[in-house]
Structure 1
Amino acid sequence: MNRQDDHRRPDPAALLQLAAREKRGKLTIFLGMAPGVGKTYAMLERAKALAAGGTDVVIGLIETHGRSETSALAEGLDTLARIEGAAPYGEFDLDAALQRHPQLLLVDELAHSNPPSARHPKRYQDIAELIDTGIDVWTALNIQHLESLSDLVSRIAGTPVRETVPDIVLKKADEVVLVDLPPAELIERLRAGKIYLPDNVGRALEGFFRPATLTALRELSLRRAADRVDDQMVDFLKQSAIEGPWATGERLLVCAGPDGMSEKVIREASRLASGLNARWIVLSLTRPHGLTPSAETHERLEQTLRQAERFGAEICRETASDFVAAILRLARRENITQIVVGRSDRTTLWRRSLADALLHQVGDIGVHVVSGTTERPRRRPLLRRTLPQWALTIGVPLASVGATTALGLGLSALVALQNLSMLFLAAVLLSAVLAGRFSALLAAMLSFVAYNIVFIEPTGRLTVARPEELLSLAIFVAVALAAGQLAARLRLSMDRSRQQAHQAQALLDFARKLSGAFGRDQVIDTMASQFSGALARPIAVLVPDDAGELELGALWPPDQDLDTTALTAARWAADKREQAGFQTATLPLVPYLFSPVRSGQRVLGVVGIRLNHGDGLPTDQDQRTIAALLEQSAIALDRARLTRDSNQASVAREGQKVQAALLSSLSHDLRTPLASITGAASSLRQLGDRMSVETRDDLLASIEEEAGRLNRFVTNLFEITRIESGMLRAKCVPTDLGVTIKAAVGRAMRLHPRLNVDISVAEPTPHAEADPALLEQVLFNLLDNAAKYAADAPVSIFARREDNAVRITVTDQGKGIPEQDLDRIFEKFYRRGKSDGRPAGTGLGLAIARGLILAMGGTIRAESPAMRRRGTRFIVRLPQLEGRP
């Protein structure tokens, strides 16, 4: 193959993306610059043409806004009923659309918020679910509803945009149809009353429908449609292996933090990435020994990152002490061409801003600095803090400085101290360790005032008489602040280490508990209890049943319950392999955050964590803990599943063995006697009057013998079935072993007249707690087995007391049994061949004997050789009758 052809192969990633799209429905968005350009009309017009050609077209929801032309065009198409009561004109019925499952569904107003009771907060999420089921969807969207453009449109038009759609929805659309109209013509339609009612026309002309505003919106819509066409062309070129040259696209790196400036930076970066048609990454940095962010700060950062995801960005989180080095390291690794960073009006004298530091070290990478005023987060008033924290923050410095001052006065009265200021350093360090950085700063200030007033001449006033004392005070304050800073950082490091140790211990305990759990039920119970212990939250674990339906496996604590809505969210998480429930895109009002437990492409279960809406989403630390616990849970559930499958496979193999043995036994032990009986009966019927009396007697005896053999075989099958099904119940009574042994020997000798049996019963005759009939059957089976395999060799039976039991041995002097077969001879249908090579017996006699002995509470085993390197001895032990010798 030509080497040049290797470079012209289609892009594998593009082919995979194309294959994934083939399995889902197609999304077509009719994009316009403003209301009234004819998006819904164009959508209905094209849909009606397809319906005339035989396509199954259904209207899920169309908003005509009182326009008669649009209403007339919708007539004749199948329309789904709306959900009444949810809104003045009803809401889109998602479940009805899924049940109807047409080829093409029309759902107007893509930027629409659903009522709180709906499965998804937004209509575009309803459409995403429809597409995943294979339904093609057409919808309409105005350019001002794109989330990255909403603030820009608000500034242009002077009116806020309330409903927004993430940019990623437009980017993932299979087709974007631009419905364009010149601004002048659109204004004429508005004045003619074809868009709004006459009462609203004047207000619209003064606001949104000004020519300059419409022109700007038209430019935005044309640019976005062109970007989408360009993306489709690039995808086509990659899939078709058509050579470029292609532009080496720009790559943006955007720095985001928890401050209010980050939202503006994200929006500016989104518009820049859209204009450049560039891939962009949003980087969130945290310091390894920084302050633990408050819940409000964490929630603000998470909202900013979720917004960036909706705009189409990739999210990257890193921990680093040097932010500039981390940013540049990621930029070089990802081949970043431009960095976007914000710079607020908040500056410090002793620290260079992040934007300035990047500009100083960035090299050949472009930097876009977004400037503006930072919205300062409103701090909670000090008195609103909880009393223990307030008392700790203020009380520790006051108490430590007061105690140090009193100690210094006492020591000064006794000894002339030259370095009394060192005592106050101890107060600063104590405050930093116990209450943090703010307390250390307060303690340093209080120490400065107390030392100046009490110990520096002139005392009683906040003045310094000698210049060297002023220098000492300055050095003291600097040292106190530095020491307090180091102590506070040490305290933070200790807190973080304690949290990490707690997390590591929780994971270790979880791993240990899971390793000791046997079976899926124990694994599920362990998951619920350990998740609850590690996260201090109520936990619900759901697992699929044999039919694949999700069912509740465990709750911890057990006094909670899941309602229908929560179960729906859990099933969604399992089906879509994504989080659902609490503050997610699916059923966000559910108080549980459901996460799938995945092993490869298989969902093994779902874990629900109950959260309070006042707490916000889990922190990064909790998210890492949850991810680690989910991975270990997946391994444990997978192991339990594999163990169960292995056991089932083993049982199936054993069942197949038993079935094969049973068929083999039936084919031999039924066909052979039946053939003998049939042959003898045929001979008697055809030649009976010409046979001698002796011949007829022999044939009749053969029929009787073979019929008895059949009867014993059927009896053995019946007995082994009773034993295995648990139907056999032993009636243990005081049993005279001498009588029972003689009865079994007599029965065996009637079947085997040549059997030579020697009976030996110790005196006094031992009595056992046994069922006489079952014990006789056991001894008969052992004697029958000896007659078959030991030929004419003598057989001995010996019974005596042994400890607290009765021992019975049956010993033959045959060839014996190989050591590797001593345990197998008690298995069903296991038979050792006779000396002539033919199988002997049915292979059920010893299995029945073992089952009967176990039912009577005894044991049976075999040993070979028994005597003089020959023979086999079967040893039976039964409980001895209490009160008997």
Structure 2
Amino acid sequence: MTTGRRGRLTVYLGAAPGVGKTYAMLDEADRRRARGTDVVVGLVETHGRAATVAKIGDLEMVPRRLAEHRGSTLTELDVDAVLERAPEVALVDELAHTNAPGSRHAKRWQDVHDLLDAGIDVVTTVNVQHIASLTDDVEAITGVRQRETVPDQVVRDADQIQLVDLSPEQLRRRLAHGNVYRAEQIDASMSSFFRVGNLTALRELALLWLADRVDDALTRYRADHSIGGTWPARERIVVAVTGGPETETLLRRAARIAQRAAGTELLAVHVLPTDGLPSTPSATIAAHRALVESLGGVFHTVVGEDVPTAVVDFARGVNATMIVVGVSRHPVWRQALLGSSSAEIARLSGAIDVHLVTHERARVGLGVRSRYSSLSPKRRAAGWGSALLIPAVLTAALLAIGTDAVALATDAMLLLAGVVGVALIGGLWPAVVAAVVSNLCLNWFFAAPTGRLTIAEAENVFALAVFVVVAVAVASVVDLAARRSAQAYRARAEASTLAALSRSVLSGEDTAHAIVQRLAQTFAMADVRLEERADDRAPWSVVAHERWVTDAEPGAAPAGTDDDVTEVLIDDRHRLVLAGRVLPASDRQVVEAFGAQAGIVLERRRLREQAAQAEVLERTESTRTALLAAVSHDLRTPLAAIRTAVDGLASPDVELDREDRDVLTATIADSTYRLERLIGNLLDLSRIQTGAVRPALRAASLEEVVPIAVEPWLADLALDVPEDLPLVHTDPGLFERVVANVVSNAVRHSPPGAKVLVTASAARDSVELRVADTGPGVPEDRKATMFEPFQRLDDTSTGGLGLGLAVAAGLADAVGARVSAEDTPGGGLTMVLTVPRDGMVP
């Protein structure tokens, strides 16, 4: 059945299973039916949830189609039955579902398309982890690869998308109360997919994906309705970056404006000439890009012939609400004659606000820059020589042929070709000299009357004038093309060099020596040193040194004199010294980029070292203070009990029967055990904090660790460790101590007669051992400090110094494992030991 109209698709998008997508879909069905709409349930998956089953109520349900697959009977959406029923609205759950073999289509979203083509409106559900473009991100977050996916475009093309959202804490509470999965699935689900971190990341993915879709919808609406003006749905500030010294002022001013309203975007745009060659040094642009990123903005580069038009077009394209530009650096007289870019941007901006920022360089002029020559000294000398030689040779050749045999126009064309040749050899100014010399030769030897600089015929005067103008114009174009070619080659070389530097840093070669070595190789410098000093008056000392001998014999001393040494100051404490040849200014810009990277590496190394030292000192001081406070009581208590019992046994004045002796002996044994455990934990903590623990990591099975570790408490445990778990990468002996400490703590805090549940399961790159008790648990504000030394879970406890979990966490770190704490559903504490799988550790 076809109605001639395509049905409308409504999608309820969830950040995770259990947020209430299906319930929200059924709620919409109730509202539509109350308005008189013909609604049927094509397929709804209740997953045994009582609230969902009750919500279906008396909604009409189309019977499902039965499918046999590998001896099992599966139920699928009966597309033909829904088409025959022809309702106005059909509910179809789980859009990304894969149909059983033999179905009309492989995927359920294809079935939904058939219903839409028949004019039936469809309301459906999908989780963000099933959207195809997010599969890799979801796997990186959760460790689970989603096999059932739906193409992004299917969801994006929906007429309406409703986000169904719950905070991670709310969803975990729903899970703990049994509103999502059955009781036997709750613990495993909360420890794997439904972790707070996973749910938070999935929630952010859903919000960002939907925000992009809303932005696309707004852009499409403006295009469909030919809306050229900006709609301030979101504040976007565009900064026109010239590359001049005022750029930093503009960027910081724009960042302060952006900070006034939450959610404001900062975008910087730099316009390149249409030939694509940078008019600003690449090092300057790189510095401005870094500044923009540090301010939380995004740097863009566009190509445009007219700078103001390109800036305004970019601002309109990103739906900007404000453009920030600087006051022109040109003097007032030039602005009066030729105008300024800032004024032109304001004229073209239309509804976009333009914020004009003054700065120190405003109206002081751009300065006079010498024209850079890309030619070598030998080539420039050859150019000046050819400026005189080529016109003379061509004139002699034409005179040899005879002035009557060749017309004046032909003479001029041949000499013009000579001027072009001079431009190719020596650039513009030698070509201009050649043009003047050639004009004089034409006048003297070939324009009547010959032998004089006077010209008899008026057309010859015009011809000679045109010759000079054309010669100079052609020479200028040839010279400009040669310069642009040289600039393009240099820009490509600089880009390749900086890209190689970036690759070396990203690949882990972020040491100072690696940067110095690459610098020496790139610029073929005989000697490169990175030096540092303690302060401004201290002598320089070498941090990294590289000699790069090319033409000399191996082991030869660096070539060059003192004049061939280039110093690049990175900061007050670091500098680069290069010897071998004098660097041109363009190469120096790239060297400065190398130097900046070296400075970052050194600063990062210094900060790491300082942070590590401070952490060690802080931890040592904290441990010493806590130890002194605790030893006075916790170590003397068992000693006092031992001393009292020994005195009672040794006293000649007291007659003890066998029962009294047994009691005193048991007291000595129990106090000795407590004392040994306290001293053992103190020694373990001392070894951990001094770095004396030397784990022997290898492939191991939990079967060889867990049974031995929990043996003293087997009567108080419910053990569920599967035999087919993958091997882990750890030190079995030390990990056994970790398990023993955690299990001992759980048993000690469990109610009498209650079993502690010990389970194990495998994740994508790790194996998890969970120890769950039903004791009093730990308050949320104590979980952040429960793994620190001398932190008792119960301040009234007299059973120890509070070192068990600290020792467990320290030993776990040493063997590559991790200890974390979660609430046990129904009350209590669950300790999670995460151990990397063998083969997953680089």
Q: TM above 0.5, one fold?
A: no
Q: TM-score range by the shorter chain?
A: 0.3 to 0.5
TM-score by length of 1: 0.39
Question: Which has more radius of gyration?
Answer: 1
